[in-house]
């Protein structure tokens, strides 16, 4: 029998090998330890290999205004034991170097490259130290997430400086997919190295959509303003980000959320999961040419979107959350419609699933494609259906309960096929589990008095308090870290979307023998969201104004551009 871990046993195991400078365990489920700079890699190795912790993310912070130093936090999760923790190290500004943990934990590769780009902490021994988040030609020596870098500064770019792509293997042909490609709804560039029809390697370039959201969050926006910005990190699953952010602030500030608000959060989150999985299922069918599945899935999804608008006022960005609770109630008059939609979606999705299972050509396109082993899940830090399709049963709703999930009965859906078909079946199964939870939430709300939606908020949230929290998004675990600050805003806010880890896993799926024709559905099987990985409002710098484009504005602009293009062609 495997011994259950506690924060004390984890601290004790580390202390046997590592001199721990300081430790804090604000709750039985949280642990922060500070270790010497030269022992960080070994501490992370013990957590990852010896104690089998799951790597989450790395955060770099400029703490010079408060203690004269920089800080790096490596976050880990012990899912079976409901524990999250961080390894902390402080760095002197005169020696901003730190040994890389990527050789031990490949899933830390992007995060370590990002602290080099944005904070200026040089990571020694990283196997791929190329730039990650900054655009071509960004000046050397400028680091946007440092406190002395203005949020609205636009440096001049060197147009002659471009991203250094990897060289292909000998005799391989380079097939470029992107930055703009019909299957991908957002820009990214995959350089596939192929021998005939077989993929023998690849290289990736992303972050075309980087929007400096974290910089806005810790420089000009207040705690509750960030809630609505967080919801716009992702165009599909925005409520998960606002919920995770709120929970991180609530943890740091010691705010207790009322039960009714917790249940409403769970209901809206599961409604979001249903629409997201139905959207993905339709796109996956379209990628492989099964357009019957595409049309039916999106038809079934539409009443879910109408229900979301009925409950929140918006089809997509629900704006339901505030720090401390929610800003809208779900009242008894709405219960019948919620249950009716859930029943209809359940019945119609069952019919669609039967059609999918009976289509031998479709199954052949998915089975055995994009193999991703459980060990590769661990090494890459993959989450969500990408991990559960390889039999790795991690789910923040069960492992680290939040909102009202400790009151709900549900199964964590897994499959051990380790391929694209398995990842598809996980998402289908989760639709039905979400519908069950929506019904349970309605029943819970019937027994909770209407009102009482916000907890007691302190007049001033204490500064320099840590909060970390996660939400199980449709694509996997969303993780937010908040270090509280001054002037009613965070000192540091770090977002880790599930695609941040899942996209890093895709090259592992291009195993020997992968056909070029299978690349789009293999990539699509992780449901990549590049925009939320890179964390739109329009800003008019000349007038110092920002504004939102409505549908009529987009139609007007597109038609005027089309007329201008045609006029140019006639000339």
Does a structural domain hold residue 46? yes
Mean pLDDT, range 140-163, rounded to an integer: 91
Ranges 56-60, 498-502, 511-515: which has the least confidence: 511-515
Residues 526, 542 within the same domain: no
Does a structural domain hold residue 192? no
Does a structural domain hold residue 176? no
Residues 74, 46 within the same domain: yes
Residue where a domain terminates, one of 146, 163, 180: 163
Q: What is the pLDDT of residue 9?
A: 96
Instruction: Please say whether the beta carbons of 548 and 314 come within 8 A.
Output: no
Report how far residue 334's alpha carbon sits from residue 315's, in angstroms, rounded to the nearest whole number. 16
Mean pLDDT, range 409-417, rounded to an integer: 97
Residues 432, 564 within the same domain: no
Mean pLDDT, range 463-470, rounded to an integer: 97
Mean pLDDT, range 393-398, rounded to an integer: 98
Q: How confident is the model at residue 159 (pLDDT cuts 50, 70, 90)?
A: confident
Ranges 199-203, 206-210, 528-532: which has the least confidence: 528-532
Residues 520, 549 within the same domain: no
For residue 513, what are its two tokens?
């023998």
Tokens 């008095």, located at residue: 449
Does a structural domain hold residue 73? yes
For residue 310, what are its two tokens?
């009925």
Does a structural domain hold residue 177? no
Please give the residue range of the domain that contains residue 48. 7-163
Q: b or e along 430-453 (b: 16 or more beta carbons within 10 Å of the residue's beta carbon)?
A: bbbbbbbbbbbbbebbeebeeeeb
Residue where a domain terminates, one of 124, 145, 163: 163
Instruction: Please say whether the beta carbons of 481 and 505 come within 8 A.
Output: no
Residues 520, 543 within the same domain: no
Q: How confident is the model at residue 536 (pLDDT cuts 50, 70, 90)?
A: very low
Residues 329, 424 within the same domain: yes
Residue where a domain terminates, one of 100, 134, 163: 163
Report how far residue 441's alpha carbon sits from residue 304's, in angstroms, rounded to the nearest whole number. 16
Q: Is the pLDDT of residue 539 over 50?
A: no
Q: How confident is the model at residue 182 (pLDDT cuts 50, 70, 90)?
A: low
Q: Is the pLDDT of residue 542 over 60?
A: no
Does a structural domain hold residue 204? no
Does a structural domain hold residue 191? no
Residues 422, 515 within the same domain: yes
- % of the chain surpassing 70 pLDDT: 91
Instruction: Please say whether the beta carbons of 367 and 356 come within 8 A.
Output: no
CATH classification at residue 320: 1.10.645.10
Q: What is the pLDDT of residue 185?
A: 65
> pLDDT by residue (tens digit) across 89-109?
999 999 999 999 999 999 999
CA atoms within 13 A on the CB side of 241: 31
Provide the number of structural domains found in the chain: 3
Q: Is the pLDDT of residue 88 over 80?
A: yes
Does a structural domain hold residue 427? yes
Report how far residue 179's alpha carbon sits from residue 168's, in angstroms, rounded to the nearest whole number. 18
Instruction: Please say whether the beta carbons of 282 and 527 come within 8 A.
Output: no
Residues 368, 398 within the same domain: yes
Considering the entire predicted model, what is its pTM? 0.90
- Angle formed by the axes of helices 420-446 and 259-287, nearest 10°: 150
Task: Identify the bridge partners of residue 91 per DSSP, sorted by sequence position.
Answer: 70
CATH classification at residue 125: 3.30.460.80
Residues 556, 481 within the same domain: no
Beta-sheet strands, E only, within 83-237: 83-91, 97-99, 122-124, 173-177, 189-195, 198-205
Q: What is the pLDDT of residue 540?
A: 39
Q: Is the pLDDT of residue 399 over 90?
A: yes
> pLDDT by residue (tens digit) across 363-379?
999 999 999 999 999 99
Residues 140, 232 within the same domain: no
Mean pLDDT, range 3-22, rounded to an integer: 94
3-state secondary structure of 57: strand
Mean pLDDT, range 84-93, rounded to an integer: 98
CA–CA distances in Å: residue 268 to residues 8, 321, 510: 36, 10, 36
Residues 517, 551 within the same domain: no
Name the residue with higher pLDDT: 529 or 195. Answer: 195
Q: What is the pLDDT of residue 534?
A: 44
Instruction: Please say whether the beta carbons of 519 and 530 come within 8 A.
Output: no
Q: Is the pLDDT of residue 556 over 90?
A: no
Q: What is the pLDDT of residue 64?
A: 97
- % of the chain surpassing 90 pLDDT: 76
> pLDDT by residue (tens digit) across 35-76?
999 999 999 999 999 999 999 999 999 999 999 999 999 999
Mean pLDDT, range 479-497, rounded to an integer: 96
3-state secondary structure of 521: helix
Q: What is the pLDDT of residue 421?
A: 96
Q: For the chain, what is the mean pLDDT? A: 91
Residues 308, 440 within the same domain: yes
Name the residue with higher pLDDT: 7 or 524. Answer: 7
Q: Is the pLDDT of residue 549 over 70?
A: no
């Amino acid at each position: 029998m495997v011994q259950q871990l506690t924060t004390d046993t984890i601290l004790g195991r580390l202390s046997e090998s590592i001199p721990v400078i300081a430790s804090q365990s604000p709750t039985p489920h949280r642990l922060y330890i500070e270790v010497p700079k030269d022992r960080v890699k070994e501490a992370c190795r013990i957590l990852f290999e010896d104690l089998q912790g799951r790597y989450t993310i790395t955060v770099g912070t400029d703490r010079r205004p408060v203690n004269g130093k920089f800080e790096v936090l490596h976050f880990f999760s012990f899912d079976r034991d409901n524990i999250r923790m961080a390894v902390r190290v402080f760095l002197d500004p005169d020696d901003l170097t730190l040994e890389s943990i990527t050789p031990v934990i490949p899933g830390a590769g992007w995060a370590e490259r990002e602290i080099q780009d944005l904070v200026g902490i040089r990571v020694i021994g990283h196997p791929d130290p190329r730039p990650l988040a900054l655009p071509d030609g960004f000046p050397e020596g400028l680091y946007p997430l440092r406190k002395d870098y203005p949020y609205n500064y636009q440096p001049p770019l060197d147009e002659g400086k471009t991203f250094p792509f990897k060289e292909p293997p000998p005799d391989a042909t380079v097939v470029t997919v992107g930055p703009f490609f019909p299957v991908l709804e957002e820009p990214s560039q995959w350089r596939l190295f192929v021998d005939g029809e077989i993929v023998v390697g690849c290289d990736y370039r992303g972050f075309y959509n980087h929007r400096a959201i974290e910089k806005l969050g810790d420089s000009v926006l207040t705690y509750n303003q960030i809630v609505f910005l967080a919801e716009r990190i992702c165009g599909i699953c925005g409520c998960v980000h606002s919920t995770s952010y709120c929970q991180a602030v609530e943890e740091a500030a010691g705010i207790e959320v009322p039960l009714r608000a917790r249940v409403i959060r769970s209901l809206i989150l599961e409604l979001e999961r249903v629409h997201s999985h139905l959207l993905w299922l339709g796109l996956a069918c379209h990628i492989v040419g099964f357009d019957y599945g595409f049309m039916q899935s999106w038809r079934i999804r539409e009443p879910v979107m109408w229900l979301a608008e009925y409950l929140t006022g918006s089809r997509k960005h629900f704006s339901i959350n505030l720090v401390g609770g929610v800003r809208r109630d779900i009242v008894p008059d709405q219960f019948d419609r919620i249950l009716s939609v859930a029943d209809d979606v359940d019945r119609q999705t069952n019919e669609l699933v039967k059609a999918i299972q009976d289509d031998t050509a479709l199954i052949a396109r998915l089975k055995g494609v994009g193999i991703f082993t459980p060990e590769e899940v661990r090494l890459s830090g993959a989450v969500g259906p990408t991990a559960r399709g390889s039999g790795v049963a991690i789910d923040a709703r069960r492992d680290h309960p939040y909102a009202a999930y400790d009151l709900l009965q549900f199964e964590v859906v897994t499959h051990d096929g380790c391929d694209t078909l398995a990842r598809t079946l996980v998402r289908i199964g989760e639709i039905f589990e979400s519908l069950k939870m929506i019904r349970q939430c309605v029943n819970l709300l019937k027994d909770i008095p209407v009102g009482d939606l916000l907890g007691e908020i302190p007049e001033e949230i204490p500064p320099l308090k840590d909060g970390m929290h996660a939400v199980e998004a449709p694509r996997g675990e969303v993780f937010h870290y908040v270090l509280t600050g001054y002037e009613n805003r965070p000192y540091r806010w770090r977002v880790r979307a599930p695609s941040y880890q899942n996209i890093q896993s895709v090259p592992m799926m291009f195993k020997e023998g992968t056909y070029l024709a299978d690349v789009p559905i293999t990539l699509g099987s992780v449901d990549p969201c590049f925009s939320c990985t890179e964390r739109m409002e329009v800003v008019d710098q000349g007038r110092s104004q920002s504004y939102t484009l409505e549908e009529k504005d987009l139609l007007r602009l597109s038609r005027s551009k089309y007329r201008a293009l045609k006029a140019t062609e006639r000339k």
